[in-house]
Amino acid sequence: MARLEHRLSKYDLEQNFDLAIIGGGINGAGVARDAAQRGLKVILLEKNDFASGCSSHSTRLIHGGLRYLEHFEFSLVKESLLEREILLNNYPHLVSPINLFIPVYKNSKTPLWKLNIGMTLYDMLSANKSLENYKSISKKEIQELEMHIEDKDLNGGVYYQDGQVPFTERLVLENILSAKQDGAVCINHAEVTEIHCSQIHGKYFAQSLKFKDLINQKRPVTIHAKNIINMAGPWVDKVNINLQNQANGHINSQVTVNPLIGGTKGSHILVKKFIGAPTNFGIYKEAQKDKRPFFITPFQIGSNDEYFLIGTTDLFLNEHDNLDQLHVSENEIDYLLEETNFTFPEANLTKDDIVNTFIGVRPLPKSNSKQAGTVSRRHFVKNHKKENIENYYSVVGGKLTTFRNLAKEIVDIFSMKPCRSHEIKTLNSLFSKNESFYDYIREKTKEYTLEYEIEASTIIHLILLYGSNAVKLLEMCRENPLLKQKIDTNYADIEAQIVYAIRHEEAYSIEDILKRRVSIGLLSNQDLFSVRKTIQYHINEEFELHGRNIDKIFQKYLFENHLAGETL
């Protein structure tokens, strides 16, 4: 059994790391994995839990960025489309094709002829792709589709394919665990409190940092690294405030850098399938109110019910916003409901139909733009050398789709070895190259159903979350048949997933498990008291917490869910 107070003892934290990464979202996870693959000594520190920030609050699409074409960002679209293909191939259990339909009306900002040109270019930029080319659809053909969309002034539309990753949290986690497998040290609930620079001949050299173990509330731990990279997403500027000039054990002065982030808020709502909703495809359209694009996409994971994810909004942060306590506003909810009801007149959705909400911040660069949607989605790596700080970098921007290529760009700075992340599969993606993923699911479902005496729907659910490592959870069920039980009868998750999360996936709190290891927390914003009680029971068992005098701060953190699941 694990002992929480010794959770850091398994790591050699006294070594001099080649690279220290601050931030455990998708970009930090990608860099840790790539760097560790190339033989660098890596440590990654995440203040909360892996993927607890903006990585888990996106529209959950792996897409080429069709709308970036209107801003002439052709290279970004081409990069995104190439990465989309790599992710579809390397993570077939997590990333899958999604069909999307774009309706065009008489008053649409983008007329049908222009959209057809854009879609043709989109297909051309994604040459050698596995997905189908787009199709132009007439108004009559639209009426034959399985949905009841608003057809007044409808001119036609286009039908095309992109990628979807319903469980982005597991995509992040899979990269974290793959990085650890290659030797990286990845620690969650570890807040960086100081970044130390030494001053030599008028220049500052970032050489070490301190972090606090939030689980145990012990004294800060000092880490030494040859290079430090700030990948905290929306929190980049807040992390940079920790830069300090240290000499002879004393802080001489604060080392300042210019602000970099001017992010925008994006909110989503999750609803169950409604009257008139499309079947087996999603909608991508201009909002009636302000002409900005939004999605209504099917969201099927871990439940017999069908859901739709609706979003997103795009609003500039204001000076009063607290990144750690953001909430979806009433205005945003009204906006998303109104636009969905306009698109599907029979839906009649109200706030009572919302089962969950998500809000995140896009870590975009500071901009003088008056419209949030026009701020570039292109990332950049800031070398603070021009600000007289050596060995220190900040990353601004970055899309879910392009995380692997962003990681390659960054690790190329520190390693001469070639990047192989496009061809080396992660630890959960070890499927045969000679069969399709769908054949794999079909064969393994038949095999595992008989061998482990577990229903087929559970087997499929586990494969779609854990890929080739699903068999490890099934072996746990063989050893302890009670772990076959569903956590809640309305969802597909079983108790083996809780134990596996604690033993193998660095999960420590109820929120770690509920929101980012199993699927239930994504599909409900309710209290789920019985589910939380079950998770707490397994935490007690695995960490031997029964009857112990736990520190009050830690007790509050662990059992009263210090990490707010509905915030960033």
CA distances from 194 to 238, 344, 497, 553 (A): 11, 52, 36, 22
- The 10s digit of each residue's pLDDT in 437-493 is 999 999 999 999 999 999 999 999 999 999 999 999 999 999 999 999 999 999 999
Averaged confidence pLDDT in the chain = 91
Instruction: Tell which CATH classification among 3.20.20.240, 3.40.50.2300, 3.30.9.10, 3.30.200.20 matches the domain 55-168+262-364.
Output: 3.30.9.10
Query: For 349-370, what is the mean pLDDT?
Result: 89
12 close to 216: Cβ distance less than 8 angstroms: no
pLDDT tens digits, 396-441: 998 999 999 999 999 999 999 999 999 999 989 988 877 899 999 9
- The CA-atom distances, in angstroms, between 19 and each of 35, 87, 411, 504, 505 are 8, 25, 9, 24, 22
CA 407 to chain centre: 15
Which of the following CATH numbers is that of domain 437-559: 1.10.8, 1.10.357, 1.10.3470, 3.30.310? 1.10.8
Structure tokens at 429: 């993606």
In degrees, rounded to 5, the angle at the alpha carbon of residue 243 between the alpha carbons of residues 240 and 246 is: 175
pLDDT cut 90: percent of the chain above it: 76
Domain regions of the chain by residue span: 19-54+169-261+377-414, 55-168+262-364, 437-559
Phi-psi region of 51 (alpha: psi -120 to 50; beta: other; left: phi over 0): left
Output the pLDDT for position 566. Answer: 33
Residues 6+ apart with CB under 8 A from 142: 103, 149, 151, 154, 156, 157
Phi, psi of 379 (to 5 degrees): -90, 165
Question: Which pLDDT does position 70 carry in this prediction?
Answer: 82
Burial 198-221 (b: 16+ CB within 10 A, else e): eeeeeebbbbbbbbbbbbbeeeeb
Residue 1 binned pLDDT confidence (cut-offs 50, 70, 90): low
Residue 213 confidence (pLDDT) above 90: yes
Give the pLDDT score at 201.
84
Q: Mean per-residue pLDDT for 320-329?
A: 88
Is pLDDT above 70 for 523? yes
Look-up: residue for tokens 């009050």?
552
Calculate the CA dihedral of residues 498, 504, 507, 510 and round it to 10 degrees: 10
pLDDT above 60: residue 561: no
| Confidence check: pLDDT of 5 > 90 | no
- For the cut 50, the answer to whether the pLDDT of residue 562 exceeds it is no
Pull the structure tokens for residue 466.
């854990």
Identify the residue with better confidence: 365 or 96: 96
Summarised one tens digit per residue, pLDDT across range 38-93 is: 999 999 999 999 999 989 999 999 999 898 888 788 999 999 999 999 999 999 99
The residue written with tokens 């080739």 in the block is 468
State the average pLDDT over residues 304-310.
94
Give the global pTM: 0.94
Among candidate residues 473, 461, 541, the one with its CA nearest the CA of residue 505: 473
- Length of the chain measured in residues: 568
Q: Can you give 136-174 as a three-state secondary structure string?
A: EEEHHHHHCCCCCCCCCCEEEEEEEEEEECCCHHHHHHH
- Cα–Cα distance, 232 to 395 (Å, whole number): 8
* pLDDT tens, residue by residue, 162-194: 999 999 999 999 999 999 999 999 999 999 999
Specify the range with the lowest mean pLDDT, choosing from 24-28, 133-137, 251-255, 308-312.
251-255
H/E element, 264: strand 264-272
Structure-model confidence comparison of residues 525 and 42, the more confident one: 42
pLDDT at site 564: 36
d(CA 429, CA 423): 11
Would you state the pLDDT for residue 435?
A: 82
pLDDT tens-digit readout, 133-153: 999 999 999 988 989 999 999
Q: What is the pLDDT of residue 560?
A: 46
Q: Kindly tell me the burial class for residue 298, based on how many C-beta atoms sit within 10 Å of its own C-beta (0-12, 13-18, 19 or more).
A: buried
The H or E element spanning position 206 is: strand 203-213
Domain 19-54+169-261+377-414 of CATH type 3.40.50.970: no
Mean pLDDT, residues 104-128 taken together: 93
Q: What whole-number distance in Å separates Cα of residue 470 and Cα of residue 461?
A: 9
pLDDT higher at 3 or 380? 380
- Distance (Å, whole) CA 76 – CA 405: 11
